[in-house]
Structure 1
Amino acid sequence: MKTVLVLVESVNEYLPILEEAGFRLILAPTPATRAEAVATRGGEIDAVLTRGPLGLTAAEMAALPGLGIICVLGAGYEQVDLPAAQARGITVTNGAGVNAPTVADHAMALLLSLVRDIPLADASVRRGEWRKVTRPSFTGKTVGILGLGAVGLAIAKRATGFDMQIAYHNRSPRTDVDFNYCATPQALAAESDVLIVATPGGSGTAHLIDKAAIDALGEEGFLVNIARASVVDTGALVDALQHGRLAGAALDVFDDEPQVPDVLKALSNVVLTPHVGGLSPEASRATVQRVADNLLAFYAGKPVLTPVYA
């Protein structure tokens, strides 16, 4: 029986899927239990289940002599030391595309809440007020999607249902869509009424949305981030929100989770959620099932379903 070190904390209800598939689990969802498991039980561990922000370091890999595969829950894997894994011949998989519908639903929920001013309107009614503010409609507006992968495509599908135009920026244009491709993030921002960040995190995408891109989005523009906080320059974003150079922002991700800057909490033109975009019963079950399928394939000597690198 193979043993999986489980570092994630959000899918406990669905971990029996792994046990029913024949795997033994070591649960280590806190920094202290993680360090203890690596230090005292490293020789037992064959596989690791982690999330992008939790990752797995080179030092931890070195302490796990039997480690053969790292499974990342969700699409992002920015804190997994890929060079160290490759050097050891360790397979790395992720959950690309599995929770895309749920993330896209949350992106649209944030967009609707932000642009239509739902949180403040709700609060005003609860206070016995009757605050009525004219807010923009969606028909004919352009939504720019930074990163047209599985999540980005799911967002585009939903946005077209609101009669919105779609523009996007990717590392390269897609040949299977007829949306408007923009060559740079700044060009995309300039084209957009709403900019939705849906690209992976990591050094390759750090601050793609910088002050210039935020200024290009403009004083009537809105930004939604359901990807990784590192893609957006938070300081530039806050400054633009404070000084009216951006109409509003909706954020599900932050630089130092679960810490959220007080300056963001104090702003009335933001909507904040605690990195729940990918969470739903359907998504959680599907992502854990994908982990089980990848593990079963790996230990059967078959190709894994969603390799991070070939």
Structure 2
Amino acid sequence: MTPGRVLRTTGLKPDLAATLAQRYAAPELPAGRAALGSDTVAAFGADAEIVVTSNRAGFETDLLDSLPRLRAVLSFGVGYDTIDAAALAEAGVVVSNTPDVLTDCVADAAVALALDAMRGFSAADRWVRAGGWDPGGVEFPLTRRLSRSRVGILGLGRIGRAIAHRLEAFGCSVSYHNRRELMDVSYPYAASPLDLARGVDLLVVAAAGGTAASPLVGREELEALGPGGFLVNVGRGSVVDEEALVDLLVDGGLGGAGLDVFASEPHVPTALRTLDNVVLLPHMASGTVETRADMARLVLENLDTWLGEGRLVTPVPESDAVVRS
């Protein structure tokens, strides 16, 4: 293949990056705004038709002026909030992601975070290691039960449904909020995130919507959960008002939280690191060997199908109209 027809951003899974370099002669493109004016763009920008990136690396829309032949941006990951798919669609550029293949692992992680946050397993592990269970010590505090609790799921898509399915096995009652009510599920629908939070013991965020300026879960929703309520977030850090979350956890206004995502990754608020009622993960909900391999496979499947047939296997919604037109 002609070098530069495909470009790859930095930070991709090493074996995927190696395949792109060896099989597709894909030069490396700096992530983010560093790509603007880079040597890679200067050398290959006029010929580049495809960029393979990730949600972490993203894609700068300003690059379009330097990549006149660009027709597709392929993202390693299900999220694409760092890629302006709507703006790219207007420019005739399609975007793909890697849905479905990470559903099970993210749902497993959400349940694990719920169990850990409510039962305090990580805190208990630290307590035992520090000698808290030694003779003469005090009893470890009682924790909260996940089984038969009331769970609200914010975002009942593929991952949200998989989480609900797992929690049903725990005897939990499940309700949900989406942009619109779903006709193919029997779970009760809440008209807003606030209504959802008011009626549950555990709120699980599996949505990719919301921004730091307008989070779906703000201070009011968190206060509605109350001192006995818990939050799990495997969606996006921007979905939750992180400042309000920290305030309530520190002051006891929220029972606890299990967090895989944060507002300004990899920055984690210092206050959260000191709290035993908070479980912190480094955005690893989909981070298994099997899932990462499946994601890489799907990226390459999208790439080969686009090169061979001019279509994507998994276009994001904003791109679907472009592909089908």
User: Normalising by the residue count of structure 2, what TM-score does the alignment of the two structures yield?
Assistant: 0.88
Supply the distance in 2 between the matched residues of 1:192 and 1:10 (Cα, whole angstroms).
Answer: 38
What residue is the counterpart of 1:215 in the other structure? 223
Please tell me whether residue 172 in structure 1 is matched to residue 180 in structure 2.
yes
Please tell me whether residue 149 in structure 1 is matched to residue 152 in structure 2.
no
The answer to whether the 8 A contact 2:6-2:27 is kept is yes
What aligned pairs does 1:7-18 form with structure 2 within 5 A after superposition? 7=9, 9-15=11-17, 18=20
SS at match of 1:25: coil
Please tell me whether residue 190 in structure 1 is matched to residue 198 in structure 2.
yes
The answer to whether the 8 A contact 2:209-2:216 is kept is no
Supply the distance in 2 between the matched residues of 1:63 and 1:162 (Cα, whole angstroms).
Answer: 53
Q: 1:258 to 1:150 in 2, by over 3 A?
A: same
What residue is the counterpart of 1:65 in the other structure? 68
Please tell me whether residue 296 in structure 1 is matched to residue 298 in structure 2.
no
Paired AA for residue 24 in structure 1 = A
**Aligned match of 2:6 in 1, 4, 14?**
4
Paired AA for residue 7 in structure 2 = L
Supply the distance in 2 between the matched residues of 1:30 and 1:79 (Cα, whole angstroms).
Answer: 11
Please tell me whether residue 255 in structure 1 is matched to residue 263 in structure 2.
yes
SS at match of 1:49: strand
Offset of 1:34 from its aligned partner? 4.2
What residue is the counterpart of 2:28 in the other structure? 27
Paired AA for residue 115 in structure 2 = L
User: Normalising by the residue count of structure 1, what TM-score does the alignment of the two structures yield?
Assistant: 0.92
Paired AA for residue 307 in structure 1 = P
Supply the distance in 1 between the matched residues of 2:302 and 2:280 (Cα, whole angstroms).
Answer: 34
Moved more, 200-209 or 39-48: 200-209
Moved more, 75-84 or 96-105: 75-84
SS at match of 1:62: helix
Offset of 1:8 from its aligned partner? 5.2
Moved more, 123-132 or 232-241: 123-132
What residue is the counterpart of 1:239 in the other structure? 247
**Aligned match of 2:126 in 123, 127, 143?**
123
Supply the distance in 1 between the matched residues of 2:240 and 2:212 (Cα, whole angstroms).
Answer: 12
Offset of 1:16 from its aligned partner? 5.2
Per-residue CA deviation, residues 121-166 of structure 1 (Å, 9 max, x unaligned), is: 0011111221522112222211111001111111111111211111
Please tell me whether residue 162 in structure 1 is matched to residue 164 in structure 2.
no
The answer to whether the 8 A contact 2:31-2:58 is kept is no
Per-residue CA deviation, residues 14-39 of structure 1 (Å, 9 max, x unaligned), is: 4456568x523223465697453234
The answer to whether the 8 A contact 2:215-2:240 is kept is yes
**Aligned match of 2:237 in 223, 229, 232?**
229
Please tell me whether residue 285 in structure 1 is matched to residue 284 in structure 2.
no
The answer to whether the 8 A contact 1:18-1:288 is kept is no
What residue is the counterpart of 1:94 in the other structure? 97
**Aligned match of 2:41 in 38, 43, 64?**
38
Offset of 1:258 from its aligned partner? 1.2
Gaps of 5+ in 1: none
Give the % identical residues: 37
Supply the distance in 1 between the matched residues of 2:189 and 2:213 (Cα, whole angstroms).
Answer: 18
Offset of 1:269 from its aligned partner? 1.8
Offset of 1:206 from its aligned partner? 3.9
Give the number of the structure whose alpha-carbon radius of gyration is greater.
2
Number of residue pairs the alignment of both structures matches: 309
The answer to whether the 8 A contact 1:73-1:291 is kept is yes
